[in-house]
Structure 1
Amino acid sequence: MALKLDVIALGAPEVHAARGFYAAAFSPVITDEGDSADLDMHGTGHLELSATERLAADAGAEPATSGFRGYVLTCAVSRPAEVRALMDAAVRGGAEVLKPARKALFGSFSGVFRAPDGAVWKLAAAPHKDTGPAAETPLPTETMVILGVAAPKASKAFYGALGMTADRDYGSKYIDFHPAKAAARLCLMERGVLARDAGTTGEGDGFPSMVLTYRAESREEVDALLAAAVTAGGRITVTTAEAPGGGYSGHFTDPDGFRWRVAHRGPSPSL
């Protein structure tokens, strides 16, 4: 049993509009699934777009949100020119620039924007100088979600109890976990530090319009992970239940309130 980040589900006021924005900004491979859409970030993770009210209801939450949502999504690319190209595409789609693309600390190059659906995105390249032009379609080398937590070391212990293995560990400054193949990377930073790094304040409350999803291999694994989450200090928000077609899922929150869905697909192709 080991938790991994298979899908980052984002709530949007209008799914069709959000789909159009992300299609133009990142050129993902998109699969429409009724009133939601799956976005394959070129083998570096999956996003799922759903109506905010539906995502909140499924997670046992009220949909209202305000201010900083407590997380930053990150798309890493190969060179600064690609950061600038993606920032320009996001702005053309209606994004708000929180930090212009420029050289950042430790020699990297990054910029931050808020998407029309409210999600905050950081675009980053490890080198601060270009060694060539941007690709016609810049592809991510990695997709990450950084959670703003009260105590990164305590949060690391929680996720470690669920089977995740730390990769880079800088104590209270930054911690991340080894991503599974084709999955996004989960990262941890102190909430106030993360907000400042994103060019905003840490004030905010309510449903963050995000649910992290793990696709379990069996019903028994769903039950085992939910039980482990409670033992480690999490809380069940939606008890396990059958879904049409034979699916089986439940929801929990980590100690900082970030919501996870653990689901077994069953014989149906839909979670």
Structure 2
Amino acid sequence: MISIASLTLEVADTTAAEHFYRTAFGLGAQVSLRGSEAPTTGFRGFTLSITVSRPADVNSFIDSALAAGATTLKPASKSLWGYGGVVQAPDGAIWKIATSSKKDSGPATRHIDALVLLIGAEDVKASKRFYTEHGLSVAKSFGGKYVEFATEESSPVKLGLYQRRALAKDAGVPPDGTGSHRLVLGSTAGPFTDPDGFAWEAALPATTV
């Protein structure tokens, strides 16, 4: 099975970004950083989601992100699907922290259940076809609105496709954006560039979640 083996965020200041991600989310092996001055403006066409078990975990991660320098895009609140909020890291990446639970069953644990990359596709069906042709397997698909790909148990990141405008709305930002995505994905299927301009490179499968 082909899936994401590595996820690299391109940032202007790697030292500052490393401090933020370790302080805010405790991320280490899941996300790599690479220096880049590639021009980028507005919505970069993707969001990263941290899914957790309870609202207390959502609040804990959002509070630590804000204390480390993130800005609020959507305050944490209850929704039809659970509880969550959205913040933007100092490097510009958008992070959603969410749970399907609406009530706490205990104190915050800061345990991450899953890290999910959602790519905002202009044509979800075309992007789905491209990825399946490159070896990825579909786990769930809802027409031209949303696709979730199957992942190996060792994969540090889950991958999904969402309509670009819908994804931007969910993140609380305008859909317009130009320039680099400032994101590089690695897998045994790379290298290639997808229909929305996201770059994949060759990488060995990850051994740590």
User: TM (normalized to structure 1)?
Assistant: 0.72
8 Å Cα contact 2:5-2:203 kept in structure 1: no
1:67 aligns with 2:42: yes
Matches within 5 A, 1:123-142: 123-135=97-109, 138-142=110-114
Hey, what does 2:179 align to over in structure 1?
A: 206
2:180 equivalent to 1:262? no
Among candidates 116, 119, 138, match of residue 93 of structure 2: 119
CA deviation string 1:162-211 (max 9, x = no partner): 12111121122211111112211110000000000000010101001100
Would you say how many aligned residue pairs link Structure 1 and Structure 2?
204
Matched, 1:148 2:147: no
Question: What SS does structure 1 have at the residue aligned with 2:62?
Answer: helix
1:71 to partner: Cα distance: 0.1
Q: 2:150 aligns with which of 144, 157, 178?
A: 178
Shift of 1:65: 0.4
For 2:84, which of 110, 132, 136 is the aligned residue?
Answer: 110
Shift in Å, 1:19: 0.6
- What is the aligned partner in structure 2 of residue 220 from structure 1? none
Computing the radius of gyration from Cα coordinates, the structure with the larger value is 1
Deviation at 1:104, TM superposition (A): 2.0
| Structure 2 residue 131 is the aligned partner of structure 1 residue 191 | no
Query: How many Å separate the matches in 1 of 2:88 and 2:177?
Result: 15
Return the alpha-carbon distance in structure 1 between the equivalents of residues 108 and 115 of structure 2. 18
Distance 1:152 1:123 in 2: 24
Flag structure 2 segments of 5+ consecutive residues without an equivalent: none
Task: Identify the structure with bigger relative contact order (alpha carbons < 8 Å, sequence gap 6+).
Answer: 2
Q: 1:39-78 maps to which residues of 2 (within 5 A)?
A: 39-40=28-29, 46-53=30-37, 63-78=38-53
1:136-187 alpha-carbon deviations (Å, 9 max, x no partner): xx02101110000012122111111112111121122211111112211110
Cα distance in 2 for partners of 1:78, 1:118 equals 26
In structure 1, runs of 5+ residues without a counterpart are: 29-38, 41-45, 54-62, 217-224, 227-250, 266-271
SS at match of 2:84: strand
Cα–Cα, structure 1 residues 264 and 87, in superposed 2: closer, same or farther, change >3 Å?
A: closer
- Structure in which a larger fraction of residues adopt helix: 1
**Scaled by the length of structure 2, what TM-score is found?**
0.93
- Please give the per-residue CA displacement for 1:36-55, whole angstroms capped at 9, x wherever unaligned: xxx22xxxxx21111114xx
Q: 1:86-105 residue pairs with structure 2 within 5 A?
A: 86-105=61-80
Runs of 4+ in structure 1 over 4 Å off: none
Aligned residue identity for 2:74: K
**Aligned twin of 1:253:** 193
Measured after TM superposition, the shift of residue 22 of structure 1 is 0.6
Counterpart-to-counterpart distance in 2, 1:85 and 1:263: 33
Aligned to 1:31: none
Question: What secondary structure is seen at the aligned counterpart in 1 of 2:96?
Answer: strand
Q: CA deviation at 1:264?
A: 6.0
Q: Distance in 2 between matches of 1:51 and 1:128?
A: 38
Aligned to 1:24: 23
8 Å contact from structure 1 (residues 26, 139) kept in 2: no
Q: Which residue is equivalent to 1:247?
A: none
Query: Residue in 1 aligned with 2:8?
Result: 9
When the two chains are superposed, the root-mean-square deviation of aligned CA atoms in Å is: 1.5
